[in-house]
Amino acid sequence: IDDEVVEIEAFRAVTFSPKGSYLFIGGDDKIIRMYRCKNDFKFLTFYKGHKNSILSICCSNDEKSLASAGEDKLVKLYENEESNTKIKWTFFGHEKGVNCVSISLDCKFVLSGGDDGQKFIFEIKTGILRKKFPVNQEEGPIFSVAFLPDMKRIAAAGSEK
C-alpha cells in the first residue's frame, strides 16, 4: 500500500469491493480507509462516523454503498464515492456491539448481527427497519451474516450462551 503510516491499535475489518476496484480497512480508531486497487494501491479517503471500533465492512455489488458495523451498537451506510463519503443512514436497534454486516446482492438491503444475538434487515433506499428476527433464549452473539442470493433466506453464525 502507499507510503501512509498508520498507527492504531488494531485493524478489525477488511474487504475488497466486488469488482476489485477498492480496498476498505477499519479498526479501533473508528475510521474506514479506502484504497484504490487498480494499477496501484493508492490511499483515497476516509469514512468517519462510528464512536467505537469498526468490526465489519461490506461493499455493495454496484460499489455505490458501503456498510459498517461497530462496537458502538450502530450500523452505518455510506455513499461510496471517492469525493463523497457522507453517511446516508445510521441504523439503530442493537443493544450491544454489532459484529457483522452484509449487503444483499440486489443492493436493496443491509443485514446485521450483534453481540445481543439480534439480526436486523434494513432497507437501503429508505433507511427503514424491514425485519427484526426473534432471538432465542439460548442464542449468544452473532458473528457472521449473509443473504442467500435469491433473497428468500439469510444465514447467521453465532454461539450459544
**pLDDT digits over 52-102, tens only?**
999 999 999 999 999 999 999 999 999 987 777 889 999 999 999 999 999
**pLDDT band at residue 161 under the 50/70/90 scheme:** low
Residue 110 and residue 104: Cα distance in Å, rounded? Answer: 6
**Contacts by 23-27, CB closer than 8 A, 24 or more apart:** 24/57, 24/59, 24/66, 25/57, 26/54, 26/55, 26/57, 26/68, 27/53, 27/54
Is there a contact between 40 and 83 (Cβ–Cβ < 8 Å)? no
Does residue 120 register a pLDDT over 70?
A: yes
Look up the pTM and report it. 0.90
| Distance in angstroms (rounded) separating the CA atoms of residues 68 and 111 | 11
Note the residue count of the chain. Answer: 161
pLDDT given for residue 13 in this prediction: 95
pLDDT of residue 19: 92
Per-residue model confidence (pLDDT) at position 139: 78
